[in-house]
A and B are shown apart, each in its own frame.
Chain A
Amino acid sequence: MLKGGRSLERGVSLRSGARVEDALERLGHEPLPIDAGGDLVKRLVAEQPDVVFVAMHGPGGEDGTVQELLEILGLPFTGPGVAACARCIDKVLAKHELRGDGVPTPDWFAFNETAFRELGAADALGELEQRLGFPLVVKPSRGGSALGVKFAASWFEVPEALVSAFSYDERVLLERFVEGRELAVSVLGGEPLPIVEAIPGDGDRYDFEARYEIGRTGFACPAELGEAEAAAVRGAALGAYAALGCSGFSRVDLILGQDGPQVLEVNAIPGLTDTSLLPQAAEAAGMSFEQLVEKILELALKPAAA
């Protein structure tokens, strides 16, 4: 049971890990929790586990780093492989993949810090208004949850938003803001689970705080959608899952706007806390948390089943 680590989502990961660990015990397994740190490889070699459950979020645990180590050690692990993790964690790379495969995703520009510091990229930002319009969303390319995500309502707010986003990653994207319903489709072994809709309370944006606080955000599962709408959303989600090469499980976040669903990002290892969307979706599909955990393990041990 790998959890914790050094990423900013450490706290969330510890909560995900605690829930999974408990479910594993109830299922009769013998989970060994490891807070991923400097002794990770040593401990894995010493313990030789049958399978590694990766409940880590953010850079380090969700970006292919830990997965690469597990492959070197020849240990089966849960969730997507190295390549899929690396694509999902990097929103810019992921969006290129999605576009390449014809999966709808909002228009964007991407910049790294060097472009501004050394190449005068600020002069190119004038293109933004025509191409993306305002408001636009500024976000770090790598970084989970909504940390560092800012909305810029006008030119005036762009530099400040960029400074914030660059605090989390050396590459940021500026994305067209798509108004619409916020949906999440969890995919388990290639099959979509019921669609969850996030309904922000008090006009709150669906932000980091709301994501992890019980009662701050309302959820509807399954989301109330027409059959055609639901099919389009599921189609986009499965397209994204395939385009990024995911396996095991993942969660696709989308906006359902006027022109249909647009994929915002794919979380290679979505949260498994009390307020997380994947467990809620599984429950709506009639799966208990234990059954969900068991299924994830099965998929890790028999990848062909995916």
Chain B
Amino acid sequence: MEETPHRRRAHTRSRDLERYAGLFAARTGVMRSSAMRDLMAVTARPEVISLAGGLPDTSTFPASTFAAQMTRIAQESTAEALQYGPTEGFAETVDCILEVMGAEGMLPDPDDVIVTTGGQQAIDLVCKTLVDPGDVVICEAPTYPGAVPVFCSYQAETIQIECDGDGMRIDELEAVLERLDSEGRRPKFVYTVPSFQNPAGVTMSLERRRRLVELARLHELLVVEDNPYGLLRFGGEPLPPLYQLDGGDFVIYIGTLSKILSPGIRLGWAVAPPPVMEKIVLGKQASDLCTSTLTQHFVREYFGEGRWREYIADLVEIYRGRRDVMIEALREHFPAQASWTEPQGGLFIWATLPEYIDTSDLLAKALREDVAFVPGQAAFVDEGRGRNSMRLNFSGVGDEEIREGVRRIGKAIAEQVDLYDALTVENRPEDSPGMPQGSPGMPGREAEDMPADVKTKPSSGPGHDLIPPGPDEGAVLPFRRKEGTA
């Protein structure tokens, strides 16, 4: 690498910046998040225990199986595996997809299926097909963090509906639909991850699923059901997907093999009614012509072996154990004021902290202890929401790391809780004394920990040193504990 000269472009000068800025599409103005990217750059350090990822465990996938399958592809299908394929995907890939959907009781028409480059592309294509700037899109609060930049890049007006333990609050959705109706507006679609939601870990109840499908029919609006985790259930009874309840008239279904086989193969799909599918196919053609044919061959080989259900069963066992470990660790190390979801499947737990804790700042503190999570803000379109929440992943790291990671985050939170208590009056004794004169640790007296050659001048001028109030002027503080912080 070091041998290659000038592999980087020249420094961008400020007039170039202006020129580019003048060329940017309006939608780039609403694309977000470099602060988060910069914090995430630190989470990539190898010593960091990352509970921030959404990574499935791929370590148990047998290397010999992988090698045998790829060899077979090379021996039997080189030409086809290296060639372009149909935009909709190979029929054989669709057969595999039907098998997976069948495992959850869905029986779509193969012609309604398109193979995509991961589920993420399916979200993008659905938006590309349906959303004009300013159109209303409805989703959960919190929603899948990866959907936020997609909605933003299509300049949707995104409305997020609160979730509780039974998933999206359908009563709130109804109220929003009514309000929009009275304004003469109709949302383009309702995006939901009904099972083991990312990031909240909650699952929409059967009753709410039925009601959502009814509402979709009533208002003739589309529901986009994103279901990456449906087969990763470790507890409770399976629930029918919205697609099955609706029959596919008003539900666009998005699936992926990322969590049940491999995210690296980038294989997902969408199922949509024919008129919508026609446009999605055109969109896909414009985006990347077709999904990797090599990947599709791999999928065909893998499903041909007929062991995919066993592999999922193995994953489910691993994740069940890790979820238990994480919940146990949360009970031990998180403060009493914190709450969290206890998912019956999937990869994530959503924890909510006292309102005064901003988890982006907490992340900075946690990173000093070499542990990372996703700040809740990432799951909201409006800046400011979700600030006291976090997403914790339990699928990507082992038991010991989960315990240690949660312990470190818990310690950082406990320090913040203690500090807040010290800062608010209600928790303080009534007769708490004013600060004594000459207390150590105040500015101007802290030079001991600086390098020896740093000189500290005596401070001068008014108002820049903490001068403690005398006993008679002990300030009455208007600080109050924020409401509802428990």
A residues lining the B interface (CB < 8 Å): 6-12, 14, 18-19, 21-23, 25-26, 32, 64, 68, 82-83, 86-87, 90, 92-93, 95-97, 99-101, 107-117, 119-127, 131-132, 147-148, 155-156, 158-160, 162-168, 171, 207-209, 212-215, 219, 221, 274-275, 279-280, 283-284, 288-290
- CB neighbours (8 Å) of B456 from chain A are 93, 96-97
Contacts of B384 in A (CB 8 A): none
Q: Contacts A6-B45, A123-B477, A215-B28 given: A100-B459 contact, CB under 8 Å?
A: yes
Are the CB atoms of B464 and A109 closer together than 8 Å?
A: yes
Query: Which among B10-18, B59-67, B245-253 touches the partner chain?
Result: B10-18
Residues 9-36 of chain B, each 1 if its beta carbon lies under 8 Å from chain A, else 0: 1111110010011001000110011110
Given contacts A22-B10, A124-B468, A159-B424, contact A131 B463 (CB under 8 A): yes
The stretch among B180-188, B212-220, B436-444 that forms the contact with chain A is: B436-444
Residues of B within 8 A of A109 (CB): 464-466
* In the complex with contacts A11-B41, A120-B435, A160-B356 CB distance below 8 A: yes
Q: Which residues of B contact A115 (CB under 8 A)?
A: 435, 439, 441-442, 466
> Do A19 and B11 contact each other (CB < 8 Å), given the known contacts A6-B42, A112-B441?
yes
Extra contacts, 15 of them, besides A159-B423, A167-B365 (Cβ < 8 A), are A12-B38, A82-B451, A97-B457, A111-B466, A115-B439, A122-B479, A124-B466, A156-B479, A159-B424, A166-B419, A167-B416, A208-B38, A209-B34, A212-B34, A279-B14
Complex contacts, A155 vs chain B, CB 8 Å = 477-479
B419 touches A116 (CB 8 A): yes
Cross-chain contact B467 with A163 (CB below 8 angstroms): no
B367 within 8 A of A: yes
- Chain B residue nearest to A147 (CB atoms) is B364
Consensus secondary structure, chain B interface: loop
Residue of B nearest to A7 (CB): B42
Nearest opposing residue in chain B for A143, CB measure: B364
* Contact status B475-A124, CB under 8 Å: yes
Known: A109-B464, A163-B416. A289 touches B42 (CB 8 A): no
Enumerate chain B residues within 8 angstroms of A21, measured Cβ to Cβ.
8
Determine the residue in chain A with the shortest Cβ distance to B20: A214
Q: A124-B468, A127-B469 are in contact. Are A8 and B17 (CB under 8 A)?
A: no
In the complex, chain A residues whose CB is within 8 Å of the CB of B419: 113, 116-117, 162-163, 166
Cα distance A108–B462 when bound, in Å? Answer: 10
Knowing A22-B11, A116-B419, A127-B469, say if A8 contacts B39 (CB, 8 Å): yes
Q: Which residues of B, 286-324, contact A by the 8 Å Cβ criterion?
A: none
CB distance from A260 to the nearest CB of B (A): 16
The answer to whether A23 and B469 touch (CB under 8 A), given A8-B39, A126-B477, is no
- Stretch of B151-159, B191-199, B255-263, B426-434 contacting A (4+ beta carbons < 8 Å): B426-434
Q: Which of B32, B356, B424, B464 has the most CB of A within 10 A?
A: B464
Give bound CA distance, A222 to B419, whole Å.
Answer: 44
Complex contact A221–B14 (CB within 8 A): yes
CA distance A288 to B9 in the complex (A): 14
Chain B: minimal CB distance from A40 (Å): 15
Q: Assuming A64-B451, A114-B441, A168-B361, is B474 touching A274 (CB within 8 A)?
A: no
- Tell whether, in the assembled complex, residue A214 and residue B451 are in contact, meaning their CB atoms are under 8 Å apart: no
Cβ-defined partner of B454 (8 Å) among A87, A123, A147: A87
Does chain A have a CB within 8 A of B400? no
How far, in angstroms, from A113 to B474 measured CA to CA in the complex?
20
Task: List 9 contacting pairs A-B, 8 Å CB cutoff, sorted by A.
Answer: A25-B6, A86-B451, A96-B456, A112-B446, A117-B422, A122-B423, A132-B463, A162-B419, A164-B358
B24 touches A215 (CB 8 A): yes
Residues of chain B contacted by A165 (CB below 8 angstroms): 361
* Complex CA–CA separation, A289 to B5 (angstroms): 18
Instruction: Decide: A156 and B480 in contact? CB cutoff 8 A.
Output: yes
Nearest to B417 among chain A residues (CB) is: A163
A32 CA to B361 CA, complexed, in Å? 34
Query: When chains A and B are docked, how far (Å) is the Cα of A289 from the Cα of B417?
Result: 47
Say whether A123 contacts B475, CB under 8 Å. Answer: yes
A208 CB contacts on chain B under 8 angstroms: 34-35, 38
Contacts A14-B41, A127-B475; is A120 near B480 (CB within 8 Å)? no
Check if B454 sits within 8 Å of A92, measured CB to CB.
Answer: no
Complex interface: chain A residues within 8 A of B446 (CB): 92, 112, 171
| Minimum distance in angstroms from A41 CB to a CB of chain B | 18
For the complex, what is the distance from the CA of A284 to the CA of B14, rounded to whole Å? 9
Q: Is the CB of A125 within 8 A of B24?
A: no
B10 in contact with A124 (CB, 8 Å): no
A162 nearest in chain B by CB position? B423
Q: Please state if B451 and A8 are interface contacts (CB–CB under 8 Å).
A: no
In chain B, positions 362-414 with a C-beta closer than 8 Å to chain A are 362, 364-365, 367, 412
Separation in Å of the A78 CB from the closest CB of chain B? 17
**A212 & B38 in contact (Cβ 8 Å cutoff):** yes
Q: How far is the CA of A132 from the CA of B465 in the complex (A)?
A: 12
Residues of A within 8 A of B420 (CB): 159-160, 163
Whether B356 pairs with A163 at a CB distance below 8 angstroms is yes
CA of A119 to CA of B443, assembled, Å: 14
Contacts A123-B477, A126-B476, A274-B11 hold; do A213 and B34 have CB atoms under 8 A apart? yes
Q: How far is the CB of B9 from chain A (nearest CB, A)?
A: 8
CB distance from A224 to the nearest CB of B (A): 16
